[in-house]
Structure 1
């Protein structure tokens, strides 16, 4: 369960939640209604109503996305549009494909999309929704500015007008250190432009829906329009009431300035007799920790189970932010826990104070320590007036089911063609595009290797899920075939002949026996492809065979790109072959990182709309199974010294993987031992391995360097070392061992290049060094060895990153979705061709 933003819950249906009256701004306070216009032209008779949903950006699963999830549940057949789509977990959008803007393909868009605010008005206007009868925008920035026509109904659910362009502009400029100077002038001009655009585009919205009366007042202030209030959904079913409260207060939130967690901590620091528990993480963490006193426990980020437990047991939940709604306030009440909240914003609509016969909390008037202290003291004086049952009953009016009913009825009211429509039944389990049920599609997966490398381990995760609808063809035998057999997957080993000796680094193009092997493989794959709907090539050589076989069998080919296709990794002739295949026989490309996608697009000119980035998924199960095994036992099993500081390297022994950098670092750091897990593969790096061993002997490192060779139980090897080091000297396409190290609860030190930059945030969930810099690597490892607190912080954050962003479920769902979409598009083209011939 994702609680990346702790004050916003995961959604579920709540069939028992009672209805509540609609909340609406009094008519007397609203501007005069606009004159009635002639009715819109309805869709042609017998034609279904086409619905488009437009969201600002898809990068995480937070409050706005929880609302989007329920809007999609109301209109499951709607098409989805967004400025960018960088989701890892796609379950909440029900694995829908997303039409994105040109910002999606700009450099650094994944991490710097917010900085592209000046381009967003133009970008949102380029999304073409002209084919739809109803457009629903979910907007806290620019989504409401999508262009619509006179016969389209545009309903905008507004989380807030653009805060940093309107009433929070000065706060935004101050926090961004943009008070004075040329940058400040530019920022103010941009925000002025955004405000003008924001007002102009509000005129194209037919109906505004606000997430609270507070936001409805903002809408009236900014756009001079009225808004129906439909509160955002809260998963009250995920929270259980606890009648017995303990003697502590709780606050939980993302630690950013406007949440005012520092004020709450300061207030309790002045009340040493009262205990406060703080859950959350963020940029202000160190500042808040510095203010904590012994009665204040800073727990940092915690999974949902811990948050839920603390929220149920706390005597009160303290909330000091001015929020548009404030979902955590409702969550606390769902646990039967009363709330002490700042008396502005959405909290005024979700908390019943002492003036109510059945209060669920109380307010303080100022965002100050004195005001919080006074409110806590007043709460203790009136504690007997708060009932867990009353808190729960108040929370239930904000259920997800109630949101769906209210929102669907509101849309029906505004769209005559939907008057007879019924709310679809809610299915809490989203459809998997890759479920690939019988009768859907069949997949032929091809791979050049029988060795269990990173690419093969990743493919194994996919075929385990698709085993009923997938066939695998390998060009070589080995442990990978054994693993596939054990997983119950249909697998054939094809004879590659002399072609198996061709390497990606270059050399002569295949002639004679190699060409014979090529033709044999193409024939074998073509025969198998005729029974499938899509060919899924997992490696570069498999892609070449797949491109040829796909043309012969008239089947689309998807290449899972796991390399950075550059001169550092491939020979000139091999790069030329890749460019030819991209034009000749590839329908789609799945890249394991943005770095891989960018290099491929730059090389081939391939349409970026046909390239999807899906991060590799790594299962946590092998690492979790070792949690109770002492490290000493693992070291004994592997023949490693018990008391040494062990730094592990986990990859094939190859020059570009940089194991020699690790050995050079040992000369700078005499306290570390090196553990090398891996061997020279494909017979092409034997000389490099011999060179490593010679270096060890020449420098007297034999007692401190441990070559373990290829190991099946990588998890045990990682748990046996103290640090996992990634030392590649050229950009790594992804960096699987980095995620594995995080899952093993080991701090990771990695080379600052390529796909690594998309995994590791330096100093947060790992440490980065310049590629090939042995001195910097030695110093970083020395710092890790000396600083226990640093190691613990890196480990905790790293594990959270690995589980959230690189889980196998997200990975498999992403690959499945692409395979099915490509097969479906090919099927449609085939039907059109047959119809044209007929």
Structure 2
């Protein structure tokens, strides 16, 4: 749900000021008394942005405004950025919302407080105030001797013309909550109108938004198109015979209409790039001629965009960056003829056309446009498309915006635009460079947990892996630097035991240590994510003279590790480890007992698991998921989610299935570390007990949330203590009742019969009885689902997890 800010009230025309009459730039109004801005004094500039939580379209504009005024000070309601490079490392002054509960993830819920909060930001010491606003930033208080220029991405959409759509999408069309929402929006509209009077000059990102400003504020606005990184795209004149669309798959993007249209044109091929909540709906509409690639890294997107016959765009956007990016590749556009596309695409009525439009957001209109495009395809020149796109470059934006501000402020009339120098962040004590080390290329629980850290800290983290695989692909997709080192014979060393490395294995060990130490010299702390990575990291840390933090995700006991491996852990603890992060109190206790490590250097940070992929499936029928996975529609399905390994106890679930003939078992996972014999044993058990029709082996699956939402209950059957139990939290997020083995870190997650049910490890009869109770007791299932979901959100969220790990890494690096 987008909460940005909403408005509508009485519109008051505003008279132009004296300074506006002196300037040649339309739409700029400024204070009449300019004695405070003598030409011989430094002009102080403040830049105000709504909120800083990500790097998206509005932030790309802010980045170029900062480049125009590199000495300006920054202000924002909140600042929760991890990557600050686009702000050139500048600090940000924030409002009181920054310190309110859950502000990092729930800042939008403080919408009613935002007008008050923005007015508390003190910019009175500045001569020029530039607001970058799609919500409340333009409401910052300024005085009569200050010039306030507001770059408006849009007046608060959900408060004005999109209010009714917003209320419908938020299910706030009736009832007390609806009344409250409408009252808040009315208040914000009145505030929005009042504060528009204190803006001296408006700048809009398109004619479309300029018309909104005129409608809402009764003010004219200068149009300066937002910056597009056209330099990242190269002109391509050789086109293939396919069409492309690329976008996040959300309703207003209308990707489903494009896919449905091409499904009715089987002679034409469509390639779709993107992911999002509508993915399953879109896949269901695709025909054989439609290739849905899902999320793809920028390199793939650029290649497809360059080679496409045309780019198809069906959304109504304020601007539409992807439309310009396509033209930068020399690719013409077929777009919905409304919104920003009308300003970025030249249609057939103009000389040197770069695309064409369709009038309605429906399948028939898209089909007609594509057929018409094919009839005029020779009229479109890749060179013309590229030339049209170049007018939207970042350099052009900086020149136009700086000129606009300079014309508005007499003291800046002789100023020149600073030379643009790409910013390279300098690591400091508050943002240490991190070298993360992991032994695996497989996407296991430890790797998924590391992935959350990497996503948040990608600007200052580099990852070293000792094996290639899906984990490397996921890291690259997250935009982080990844190096895969050859582990050689070390790949065969297991934590359960075996010989110590000798010969070739020792040679491989030394090679890994040297390569890791070399990369560690550019970091301030080594962050080891797994046991073998910890051994390499501990030695490399000594060579590179860098502190080493081990994220302990195992219970270091004889049940999990061989004697020689435990001895190595003790040795590393004494000689190479600076600090330990444990994923549970059970893991921390076992480590302290084994090594006698200083408990002050052990912190417990529970794994964080994102609710987003689970919440995205809320509207997808379970029947659809089961059909996709080829699972029975009407059976009570019990799901097990982990690699196939004896200590994970999948055989206990199969034994429970023998005792519960009315249930089915779904096993998601594959043998990963030389455990193929156990998989064979499981299949043999199924055959011997005639369970073939009720046990479903799905193997390794990428989409775990979909698999979990397809079953009726989630079981955790480990027969030895589990360090944490990630699958338990995932089951809670999937809103499925969870049954787990009573041992280890599980006891720190589940309160028996409150948010889950505990069973004795290895007890198939007890498990069978519990599952039978769940199947027959709707009230119990509903209680477990409700309480489990709240537990997962409140105790095991990604924000708390990332902040905890980051805080420890900063502290260790600061030593």
TM-score range, shorter chain: 0.5 to 0.7
Residue 154 (structure 2) aligns with: 160
Residue 423 (structure 1) aligns with: 417
1:112, CA displacement in angstroms?
2.8
1:403 is aligned to 2:429: no
Q: Would you say the 8 A contact 2:193–2:217 is kept in 1?
A: yes
Residue 74 (structure 1) aligns with: 68
Residue 336 (structure 1) aligns with: 330
Aligned partners of 1:207 and 1:814: how far apart in 2?
A: 42
SS of 1:136 mapped into structure 2: strand
Residues 106/355 of structure 1: CA separation in 2 closer, same or farther (3 Å cut): same
Q: Would you say the 8 A contact 2:45–2:73 is kept in 1?
A: yes
Alignment of 1:32-431 (within 5 A): 37-39=32-34, 41-42=36-37, 48-431=42-425
Aligned partners of 1:677 and 1:816: how far apart in 2?
A: 30
1:169, CA displacement in angstroms?
1.3
Give the alignment partner of residue 489 of structure 1, picking from 544, 548, 553.
Answer: 544
SS of 2:93 mapped into structure 1: strand
Q: Would you say the 8 A contact 1:95–1:433 is kept in 2?
A: no
Residue 572 (structure 2) aligns with: none
Per-residue Cα deviation, 1:336-374 (whole angstroms, up to 9, x for no partner): 111111111111111111111210111112222222222
Q: Would you say the 8 A contact 1:648–1:721 is kept in 2?
A: no
Aligned partners of 2:171 and 2:703: how far apart in 1?
A: 40
Which deviates the most, 167-176 or 391-400? 167-176
Per-residue Cα deviation, 1:254-277 (whole angstroms, up to 9, x for no partner): 122221222222222322222222
Unaligned runs of 5+ in 2: 3-21, 436-445, 455-459, 464-516, 527-531, 549-576, 590-599, 610-639, 659-664, 686-698, 709-713, 738-748, 760-766, 772-797
Per-residue Cα deviation, 1:484-516 (whole angstroms, up to 9, x for no partner): 5535423699xxxxxxxxxxxxxxxxxxxxxxx
1:751 is aligned to 2:729: yes
Q: Would you say the 8 A contact 2:583–2:723 is kept in 1?
A: no
Q: Would you say the 8 A contact 1:219–1:225 is kept in 2?
A: yes
Per-residue Cα deviation, 1:618-676 (whole angstroms, up to 9, x for no partner): xxxxxxxxxxxxxxxxxxxxxxxxxxx993599xxxxxxxx899997686579979999
Per-residue Cα deviation, 1:449-473 (whole angstroms, up to 9, x for no partner): xxx9999x9999799878479699x
The root-mean-square deviation of aligned C-alpha atoms, in Å, is: 5.7
1:224, CA displacement in angstroms?
1.3
Alignment of 1:769-784 (within 5 A): 773=758
Aligned partners of 1:61 and 1:36: how far apart in 2?
A: 33
Q: Would you say the 8 A contact 1:336–1:387 is kept in 2?
A: yes
Q: Would you say the 8 A contact 2:241–2:309 is kept in 1?
A: yes
SS of 1:297 mapped into structure 2: strand
Residues 59/385 of structure 1: CA separation in 2 closer, same or farther (3 Å cut): same
Per-residue Cα deviation, 1:214-237 (whole angstroms, up to 9, x for no partner): 111111111111111111111111
SS of 1:38 mapped into structure 2: coil
Residues 594/662 of structure 1: CA separation in 2 closer, same or farther (3 Å cut): closer
Aligned partners of 1:203 and 1:818: how far apart in 2?
A: 47
SS of 1:325 mapped into structure 2: coil
Aligned partners of 1:442 and 1:86: how far apart in 2?
A: 17
Residue 504 (structure 2) aligns with: none
SS of 1:356 mapped into structure 2: coil
Residues 117/761 of structure 1: CA separation in 2 closer, same or farther (3 Å cut): farther
Residues 727/489 of structure 1: CA separation in 2 closer, same or farther (3 Å cut): farther
Aligned partners of 1:31 and 1:426: how far apart in 2?
A: 26
Q: Would you say the 8 A contact 2:644–2:672 is kept in 1?
A: yes
Residues 238/676 of structure 1: CA separation in 2 closer, same or farther (3 Å cut): closer
Q: Would you say the 8 A contact 1:432–1:817 is kept in 2?
A: no
1:124, CA displacement in angstroms?
2.0
1:399, CA displacement in angstroms?
0.6
Q: Would you say the 8 A contact 2:149–2:202 is kept in 1?
A: yes
Residue 507 (structure 1) aligns with: none
1:816, CA displacement in angstroms?
9.6
Which deviates the most, 282-291 or 218-227? 282-291
Residues 664/722 of structure 1: CA separation in 2 closer, same or farther (3 Å cut): farther
Alignment of 1:341-740 (within 5 A): 341-434=335-428, 467=521, 483=537, 486=540, 488-490=543-545, 539=579, 647-648=642-643, 668=656
Q: Would you say the 8 A contact 2:27–2:202 is kept in 1?
A: no
Q: Would you say the 8 A contact 1:264–1:372 is kept in 2?
A: yes
Per-residue Cα deviation, 1:34-82 (whole angstroms, up to 9, x for no partner): 7962225137965x43332222222222111111111122222333222
Aligned partners of 1:312 and 1:79: how far apart in 2?
A: 39
Aligned partners of 2:150 and 2:723: how far apart in 1?
A: 42
Aligned partners of 1:49 and 1:160: how far apart in 2?
A: 28
Unaligned runs of 5+ in 1: 6-26, 446-451, 473-477, 494-536, 541-560, 571-580, 582-589, 597-644, 651-658, 679-695, 705-717, 730-734, 739-747, 780-804, 824-838
SS of 1:751 mapped into structure 2: helix
Q: Would you say the 8 A contact 2:31–2:144 is kept in 1?
A: no
Aligned partners of 1:386 and 1:722: how far apart in 2?
A: 41
Q: Would you say the 8 A contact 2:520–2:546 is kept in 1?
A: no
Aligned partners of 1:408 and 1:649: how far apart in 2?
A: 61
Residues 73/750 of structure 1: CA separation in 2 closer, same or farther (3 Å cut): farther
Aligned partners of 1:267 and 1:468: how far apart in 2?
A: 52
Residues 727/467 of structure 1: CA separation in 2 closer, same or farther (3 Å cut): farther
1:183, CA displacement in angstroms?
2.5
Aligned partners of 1:812 and 1:59: how far apart in 2?
A: 19
Aligned partners of 1:44 and 1:736: how far apart in 2?
A: 67
Residues 669/49 of structure 1: CA separation in 2 closer, same or farther (3 Å cut): farther
Which deviates the most, 423-432 or 69-78? 423-432
SS of 2:240 mapped into structure 1: coil
1:749, CA displacement in angstroms?
2.8
Residues 819/721 of structure 1: CA separation in 2 closer, same or farther (3 Å cut): closer
Residues 371/722 of structure 1: CA separation in 2 closer, same or farther (3 Å cut): closer
